[in-house]
Structure 1
Amino acid sequence: MIEVKKADNSTEFKIIEKLAIEILHEVYDPIIPSEHTDYFLTEFQSESAIGKQIKNEDFSYFLLNFDTKNVGYLGIQKLNKILILSKLYILESFRGLKIGKTALEYVNGFATDNGIEKIELIVNQQNQNTIDIYIKNGFKIVESIINSFPNGHSVEDYKMEKILISK
């Protein structure tokens, strides 16, 4: 059984941090320097960073469970009528089991229940499998962007969006 469970305490944030360390190096080290992955983990996906995002930036985090095992996580940020799908990561050995699909259905339901007009996300241009999954789930590439970080590294990303409510 797949479950999406809201993470709301430091123990759960630490579980997400551990998942992030494993998943992000596997996903990103082939396409960006591992030092940048480490930077990204520390700045955005550590226990303390997650707590600050929830407290100060209207983020919500969720653990993705498969048969009671923590196998991934989801991070979203509500900005007025836009929902930012900030993070959706699943352990490699659990991909292909509809966990991502369940997570995206959860995001769509959350958005609908909260009067969100569109969902936006950023994805690395070299991450074609993930791009294909988002397109299959109704997202469109709307912009090619270069994201620069304070550690001096830059990445080429796509901004994708899914419109939920006609304007």
Structure 2
Amino acid sequence: MILLRRAKAEDMPIVADLAERIWPATYSAYISDEQLRYMLDLMYNQGELLAQLEKGYVFLMASEEDKDVGFACYSIVDTANDVYKLHKIYVLPEMHGKGVGKILMNEVLNLAKRNGGKSLELNVNKHNKAKDFYLKSGFKIKESVTIDIGNGFVMDDFVMELALS
């Protein structure tokens, strides 16, 4: 059985460890090892993760039999229009197909709705097969973006959106 809990500051090393284990399997087919390392160091260092918690980002941890197997992170990004953003959702490769991503996604959707959210947005790499998961979940492609993340690297993403009402 998959259990969810809201992460605390002491869970951030677990989030970073999961990202280190998940990202190579997820991205190595279309992102260079150099960009992968740069992005992990940029986005999953403890200072950055703790800063996100302090800004009000909510991290949810998924576990099975006391083993952490995935996480999601979301926050409100536009209070005037009640827009939430799913910043991260990752599940260990060996847990794919077991519904963990769906459980995390449903919890984020429920929490955003409960807090008055009108829509949920996310960015996904154009080559990431998770895009199909999002489309099946009802998300629509809103726009295509190329984001300069420094060091000569970019993220080539789709911004996807799901209406919550």
User: TM-score normalized by structure 2?
Assistant: 0.93
Moved over 3 A (4+): none
SS at match of 1:97: coil
| CA-to-aligned-CA distance 1:101-145 (integer Å, 9 cap, x gap) | 111110111011100110000000011x20111011110011111
| CA-to-aligned-CA distance 1:143-167 (integer Å, 9 cap, x gap) | 11111111211132100000113xx
2:24 maps to 25
TM-superposed deviation, 1:47: 2.3
Partners of 2:99 and 2:22 lie apart in 1 by 17
Partners of 1:51 and 1:149 lie apart in 2 by 20
User: What are the ranges of 5 or more consecutive residues in structure 1 without an aligned counterpart?
Assistant: none
Partners of 2:126 and 2:67 lie apart in 1 by 30
TM-superposed deviation, 1:38: 1.4
| Aligned residues of 2:9 and 2:53 also touching (Cα < 8 A) | no
Are positions 1:154 and 2:158 aligned together? no
SS at match of 1:116: coil
Paired residue type of 1:108: L
2:113 maps to 112
| CA-to-aligned-CA distance 1:47-96 (integer Å, 9 cap, x gap) | 221101111x3211111112321011111121221111000000000010
The worse-fitting range, judged by mean Cα deviation, of 133-142 and 60-69 is 60-69
| Alignment counterpart, residue 63 of structure 1, candidates 54, 61, 64 | 61
SS at match of 2:49: helix
Which runs of structure 2 are paired with 1:46-57 in the superposition (5 Å)? 46-55=45-54, 57=55
Which runs of structure 2 are paired with 1:4-153 in the superposition (5 Å)? 4-10=4-10, 12-55=11-54, 57-79=55-77, 80=79, 81-127=82-128, 129-153=129-153
User: TM-score normalized by structure 1?
Assistant: 0.92
SS at match of 1:149: strand
Partners of 2:110 and 2:120 lie apart in 1 by 11
Identity of aligned residues (%): 29
Equivalent residues, number? 162
RMSD (Å), alpha carbons: 1.1
